[in-house]
Amino acid sequence: MRYSVGVLGATGMVGQKFIQLLDGHPWFKLTSLAASERRIGKKYGEEVDWVVSRDIPEIARDVEMVPMDPKYVDADIVFSALPSGIAREVEPKFAEAGFVVASNASAYRMAEDVPLVIPEVNPDHLGLIEVQKRKRGWDGFIVTNPNCTAIVLVLSLKPLMDLGLQNVRVASMQALSGAGYPGVPSLAITDNVIPFIKGEEEKVEEEPLKLLGRFDGERVKFANIKVSASCHRVPVIDGHTEAVWVEFNRSVDIDEVKRAFESFEPLDLPTSPEKVIIVREEPDRPQPRLDRDAGGGMSITVGRIRKDGDNSVKYIVMGHNTVRGAAGASILNAELMIKEKII
């Protein structure tokens, strides 16, 4: 069975990445593209400046764009690539109307009754769906994926939890595509690093606590760890790189940490990579140009794993911010819900 899907906010960079990843998907058939009022009634291929790759996929080229209104969207599942402010207004309308909303937006990530999910990390948090439907009286529901920086970080932290993880410090070097299109002005970022991204550090410090927390049947009890983040924009097109320092409640060695990374099991889902975490031994890896497309952009790559004290380790982790960190994450969430018979 193939499920009909729509994209909300189809013309932006993440919306375009959704369309690219849905092209040829074995479980999903693209049936609706919803966009802003000025684009309604126009064909996607004639209206959109396609920046994700050279060619607009045929599945979208001749699709006539519709309003962001449940009455006009023909789909079982809608993927939301909306800005947070718009998502806060639009997504509940679709959930109330019975749609499954797989959202990349930040609007509801930290809501107590909305699942914030990375399928390999906390699939049991999908249990919040029934809590959400009961509390809000919706026929449908909203499931979110994390911030693009947080998802790369948390995928690397999850296998370390069993080693007694306590404290995390992270300094991010974030790609331009994370700012959307047209993104950062060229004269601001060329020959430069911008050491501030509005709202980013708060997301990176808060979302991991929910993602790594425990679902008790009614709510998520946040993980008892501390995350401190400093986020920076760098002149790289795709791929967020993060320098991470982790502290444990006991002494750990490098081989133990490497084994934890390498033993992190993938899922049997169409968008899941063969390896969730790729460990590189070279002293100058990972690098965005060399490693961002690993696993079709769904793997993260870890390298430079070093001791930082008896109880602490430091490493570099890198992942594709618009694939694993955005559209691919929402699609993987939808696949998990199908596998778990939630959809």
- Checking DSSP bridges between strand 300-309 and strand 77-80, what pairing results, if any? unpaired
C-beta neighbour count of 136 within 10 angstroms:
16
Angle of CA points 276, 280, 284, to nearest 5°: 135
Q: Taking phi first (over 0 means left), then psi (-120 to 50 degrees means alpha), and beta for anything else, what does residue 287 get? A: beta
CB 171 within 8 Å of CB 131: no
The structure tokens 């559209």 sit at 327
Tell me the C-alpha to C-alpha distance, in Å, between residue 204 and each of 109, 144, 174, 230, 245. 12, 15, 12, 9, 14
Would residue 148 show up in a list of annotated catalytic residues for this protein?
Answer: yes
Point out the catalytic residue in the list 125, 148, 231, 320.
148
User: Please, are residues 62 and 44 in contact by the beta-carbon 8 Å criterion?
Assistant: yes
Task: Assess whether 232 carries a catalytic annotation.
Answer: no
Instruction: Count Cβ atoms below 10 Å from residue 175 Cβ, excluding itself.
Output: 25
Which of 25, 125, 240, 320 is labelled catalytic? 240
229: Cβ contacts below 8 Å, ≥ 6 apart = 149, 169, 170, 171, 172, 200, 201, 204, 205
Q: How far apart are CA 316 and CA 152, in angstroms?
A: 11
- Give yes or no for a contact between 180 and 198, defined as CB atoms under 8 angstroms apart: no
**Sign of dihedral through CA atoms 114, 119, 122, 124?**
positive
Burial 146-159 (b: 16+ CB within 10 A, else e): bbbbbbbbbbbbbb
SS3 90: helix
Sequence-distant (≥ 6) Cβ neighbours of residue 179 within 8 angstroms: 197, 233
Question: Could you give the residue numbers annotated as active site?
Answer: 148, 240
